[in-house]
């Protein structure tokens, strides 16, 4: 192998490494995988489509630290109806969800197909509980379960 081609290969490897490093700037703080790899935006959204309340971190080269971001900011839309598949006639909306990890803004798509249940029923079928009659806020079932467990524990301590 010539000296020139070796130099080109090293430069190409370094360039590819920089491109991959720049793209894979997201990490999940909620997932418990040891030595979890950084991911690009598309991979993070794909792997977390069913976990919209995970805390995500984005590497910021300017300050050389991870900063908080959300799946909503990364483009995730949670679809209701169709067992998680995309509705052919979605109605965009936004929900605010109170979770164990904090409050999350979630972009949602309601199903508007003929015979589709109402928004409240779609939210419930997804495992969340609507908090208000205008359906702009919801509680995931794990939060409700934890609240109920706390009430049961307090009831026996009178």
pLDDT band for position 129 (50/70/90)?
Answer: confident
Q: What is the C-alpha separation between 127 and 131, in angstroms, rounded?
A: 13
pLDDT, tens digit (0-9, with 9 covering 90-100), for 32-83: 665 677 888 888 999 898 889 999 999 888 888 889 999 999 999 999 888 7
pLDDT at 21 > cutoff 60: no
Q: Are 88 and 111 in contact (CB under 8 A)?
A: no
Residue of higher predicted confidence among 157 and 116: 116
Q: Are 130 and 123 in contact (CB under 8 A)?
A: yes
* Joined tokens for residue 25: 């700037």
For the four alpha carbons of 46, 48, 53 and 59, in that order, the dihedral sign comes to negative
pLDDT, tens digit (0-9, with 9 covering 90-100), for 73-127: 999 999 988 877 889 999 999 998 888 788 889 999 999 999 999 988 998 888 8
pTM: 0.69
For 67, which DSSP code? E
As a whole number, mean pLDDT of residues 8-33 equals 67
Res 148: pLDDT:
67
* C-alpha pair distances (Å), 145 with each of 14, 57, 129: 50, 27, 11
Res 33: pLDDT:
61
| CA 25 remoteness from chain centre | 15
């Amino acid at each position: 192998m010539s000296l020139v081609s070796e130099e080109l290969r090293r430069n190409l490897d370094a360039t590819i490494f920089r491109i991959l490093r720049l793209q894979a700037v997201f990490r999940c703080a909620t997932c418990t995988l040891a030595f979890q790899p950084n991911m690009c935006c598309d991979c993070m959204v794909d792997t977390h489509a069913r976990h919209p309340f995970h805390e995500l971190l984005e590497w910021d080269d300017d300050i050389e630290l991870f900063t908080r971001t959300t799946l909503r900011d990364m483009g995730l839309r949670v679809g209701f109806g169709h067992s998680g598949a995309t509705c052919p006639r979605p109605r965009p909306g936004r929900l605010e969800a109170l979770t164990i990890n904090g409050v999350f803004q979630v972009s949602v798509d309601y199903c508007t197909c003929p015979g589709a249940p109402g928004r409240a029923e779609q939210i419930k079928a997804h495992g969340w509980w609507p908090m208000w009659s205008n359906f702009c806020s919801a509680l995931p079932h794990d939060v409700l379960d934890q609240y109920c467990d706390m009430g049961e524990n307090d009831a026996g301590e009178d």
